[in-house]
Structure 1
Amino acid sequence: MHALAGGGRRMTRRATLADVARRAGVSVSTASRALHRPGRVSAGTTARVQQAADELGYVPSAAARQVRSGRSGTVALVVPDLTNPFFMALVRGSTRHLREHDMVQVVADVEEEPRSEEQVLEALAGRVDGIVLAASRLDRAALAAWTRRVPLVAINRDVADVPTVRTGTQGVVAAVEHLHERGHRHVAYARGPATSWSEERRRRAVVETCARLGTRFSDLGHHAPRRDAGPAAADAARRSGASALLAYNDLIAFGALDRLTESGVPVPGELSVVGHDDVFGADLTTPALTTVAVPAEELGARAAARLLAVLDGAGGATGADATSSDPGAELPTRLVVRDSTGPAAR
């Protein structure tokens, strides 16, 4: 790198920390503290060292940063299914936050398989500084054990002493209330994976709200969280006699709309449909899908921030700030009403 050295002489090599220290008139150790731990030196010294670094074009090497910090500068995000737009939004949010903190993220897709999840965690342990585990399908004991092995933050789980961020069920409650207001007295719910913590939480919200409103509830059983599971959910909803179908996620709802369109069933005339997540394309279906909006990018960013706090010792696995008991760890959801819901058929 070409840069001006002291006395106007142009350097023809990459500037080193020693060059910066010499130009700023401080020791190498002081220059290092000023650049990497500015709170430990005076503001004037920090400014002088930073100015020297800028003038010389000094860039600390990644290897040097790793040696000083004992970190790789890399974290991993493990997701159940990258083909699901919801998880791609998580990736965008976490990547953005980590980039702002000079961290690199790698992403692993475990294809909804707990065994694959364990294998990926084994492969990542010791190679990355920490892991964000999205919608983990591991059981509680396994997840807690992994938290003791590697710095880890879970998205949408609730296990004691496991740092977590999660979404609320406000939108699900609002969806059932919305349907009740439109005259629906029998709703069916197409569940998600049996190993999903979010699935059980959403189902409980639907059941409890239906009970409060006096609405009949039909459980359509578990479905894979994919579009190709939607047709079976639509068929089951029609057999149940329900006037409205709530789906575990938008992908199942998309597939349900596909089947209903093929079958000539008017939506919402004969059957109203509600999804969950408000992924890309939810407003482009025919009819546009009423769904529960989840702030997925913010969720990813919040998880990344929590992991960095764990790495810095400010939000460890046993600290209240990082555990499931922290109300700040939950992001609210909301109902977005579009054209796939309407008055119950008479």
Structure 2
Amino acid sequence: MSALPSTNADGETRATAKKPATIHDVAALSGVAASTVSRALSTPGRVNFRTRARIEAAATELKYVPNAQAKALSSGQTKAVAVLVADITNPFYFDIIRGTQLQLKAAGYTQFLVDTEESKEVEVNTIEQMMQMADGVILTAPRLNDEALVLAATKMPLVTINREVPGIPSVLLDTPTATNQALDHLISLGHSHIAYLGGPGSSSSNIRRWEALSTAAQERGVQMDRLGPFAPRTYSGDAAADALVYSGATAGIAFNDLMAIGMLQRLAARGVRVPEDISLVGCDDIFGADFCSPPLTTVTAPVEQAGRVAVTMLLSRINPGVGTLPRSQSVLPTHLTIRGSTGPAPLRP
């Protein structure tokens, strides 16, 4: 007497059960290329909303499980790490991305790169998605508040760059020390009225720099104005430059190089000479800072190293007991690079 064929959870017999759907099946049903399906499911931000929705509906209908998720189900790891940057067009992040990419590749991991567009909502949504697709997340200059970051860290391994939150591993670039060097540099040139052109109010780096500068200025007996906030983009340089001129300060320290470069352009258009009339300092030493007219005095930081260190710290939590012992924080030194945008304070009647 022959045994009845066994059935699976969906009521199909083993003999008639369908093979698992492939990425090509999803592509055919949704009417797109397989590469588009891969992008939609791995880095959703790179695919427009309507196409992504169509692909996700097809994947659900076919009960498609991406390879990364299949590995996660079987081994507990995807061998992928998500790197979230606030603005992928900002050259500051180029070296961070390069550092994380090289360090992850050396460890046998894939990098998912996401531009969060300086949006808290995008950060939250991406972290939720990456819980199924990545083993951990590196957040560069996150805009989420401390409570949201702590909650996210309870759900998956997480490391921040340029953001200090108790209980979360972090890599910090010690830019406050170098901005104080910039202040001393300007004072040595005879400047006694200096302005700080601030960045986003939600930026931890912006807060740390202003606190350091305001304290140091008070200790040194010079006037320090806080102007802004301004967007950390070149286009904000117009408003920042006008505010600097109106303030009467003879020197300015900008939140980042992009803003400072925009300021140089605006000051030139107004006929304000740099550094003869106003001195200017940037921050980050991005590619192109030394090509400006005049070349930009700026804060230089080991940005690529920050990306590498962040990966090392994250992998030590993904794979505890393997390799180096987990560190809770790493602070990397910075320094002032002096170029042609700073000079002696102008003589005032």
Fold shared per TM-score above 0.5: yes
Partners of 1:64 and 1:233 in 2: CA distance: 51
Partners of 2:129 and 2:266 in 1: CA distance: 41
User: Taking structure 1 as the reference length, what is the TM-score of the superposition?
Assistant: 0.77
SS at match of 2:154: helix
Aligned to 1:334: 335
Q: Give the superposition deviation at 1:65.
A: 8.1
Q: Give the superposition deviation at 1:70.
A: 2.5
User: Taking structure 2 as the reference length, what is the TM-score of the superposition?
Assistant: 0.77
Partners of 1:112 and 1:226 in 2: CA distance: 12
Partners of 2:79 and 2:73 in 1: CA distance: 11
Aligned to 1:70: 76
Distance verdict in 2 for CA 1:288–1:67, change over 3 Å: same
Q: Does 1:206 align with 2:178?
A: no
Aligned to 1:294: 301
Whether the 8 Å contact between 2:68 and 2:133 is mirrored in structure 1 is: no
Aligned to 2:187: 180
Unaligned runs of 5+ in 2: 1-66
Partners of 1:136 and 1:214 in 2: CA distance: 34
Q: Give the superposition deviation at 1:62.
A: 9.3
Deviations 1:115-152 (A, max 9, x none): 11111112212210100011000001001000001110
For residues 1-346 of structure 1, the aligned pairs below 5 Å read: 69-168=75-174, 169-314=176-321, 321-323=326-328, 326=329, 329-346=330-347
Whether the 8 Å contact between 1:175 and 1:274 is mirrored in structure 2 is: yes
Partners of 1:63 and 1:260 in 2: CA distance: 53
SS at match of 2:112: strand
Partners of 1:151 and 1:71 in 2: CA distance: 12
Deviations 1:246-267 (A, max 9, x none): 0000000011001001111100
Whether the 8 Å contact between 2:274 and 2:280 is mirrored in structure 1 is: yes
Unaligned runs of 5+ in 1: 1-60
Deviations 1:294-330 (A, max 9, x none): 1110011110111111111259xxxx9533xx4xx10
Partners of 1:64 and 1:240 in 2: CA distance: 60
Whether the 8 Å contact between 2:316 and 2:326 is mirrored in structure 1 is: no
Q: Give the superposition deviation at 1:195.
A: 0.6
AA aligned opposite 1:113:
S
Partners of 1:161 and 1:62 in 2: CA distance: 29
Whether the 8 Å contact between 1:186 and 1:215 is mirrored in structure 2 is: yes
Whether the 8 Å contact between 2:227 and 2:243 is mirrored in structure 1 is: yes
Distance verdict in 2 for CA 1:106–1:265, change over 3 Å: same
Deviations 1:226-250 (A, max 9, x none): 0001111110011100000100000
Whether the 8 Å contact between 1:162 and 1:322 is mirrored in structure 2 is: no
Q: Give the superposition deviation at 1:172.
A: 0.7
AA aligned opposite 1:221:
G
Partners of 1:298 and 1:337 in 2: CA distance: 22
Whether the 8 Å contact between 2:186 and 2:251 is mirrored in structure 1 is: yes
Distance verdict in 2 for CA 1:133–1:211, change over 3 Å: same
Percent identity between matched residues is 40
Partners of 1:128 and 1:181 in 2: CA distance: 50
Kindly tell me the number of residue pairs found equivalent between the two proteins.
Answer: 278
Partners of 1:199 and 1:302 in 2: CA distance: 22
AA aligned opposite 2:253:
L
Deviations 1:137-168 (A, max 9, x none): 00010010000011100111111110111111
AA aligned opposite 1:322:
R
AA aligned opposite 1:132:
I
